[in-house]
């Protein structure tokens, strides 16, 4: 299963976050970017959840790298959307 959609979401999220970190935005634009980051993070979490449940190796590697207690079984039965959200947040330095 290709992870192209997740890669595109991640790239868009990284661009928006970099623009926010630059600190030179008007308040209206900054607020819009915060909303955009939240939306993109939500989409990325849903896509990561879908890919983990499908057994995608790249998604599983990402979970193993960023989740404090990644699922150990091949069925990923205990993996939930909240786990995917945690992984996406940790990828961007939030804990």
Span between the terminal Cα atoms of the chain, in Å: 28
Is the pLDDT at 2 greater than 60? The verdict is no
* pTM metric for this prediction: 0.77
pLDDT digits (tens, 9 = 90+) for 30-77: 898 888 888 888 999 999 999 998 888 889 999 999 999 888 766 677
Q: What is the CA radius of gyration of the chain?
A: 14
Q: Give the C-alpha separation, 95 to 84, whole Å.
A: 13
């Amino acid at each position: 299963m290709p992870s192209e959609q997740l890669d595109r979401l991640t790239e868009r999220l990284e661009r928006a976050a970099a623009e926010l970190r630059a600190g030179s935005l008007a308040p209206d634009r900054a607020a819009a970017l915060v909303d955009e980051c939240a939306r993109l993070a939500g989409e990325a979490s849903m896509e990561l959840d879908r890919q983990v449940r499908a057994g995608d190796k790249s998604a599983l590697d990402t979970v193993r790298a960023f989740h404090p207690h990644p699922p150990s079984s091949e069925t990923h039965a205990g993996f939930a959307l909240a786990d995917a959200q945690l992984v996406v947040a940790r990828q961007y330095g939030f804990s």
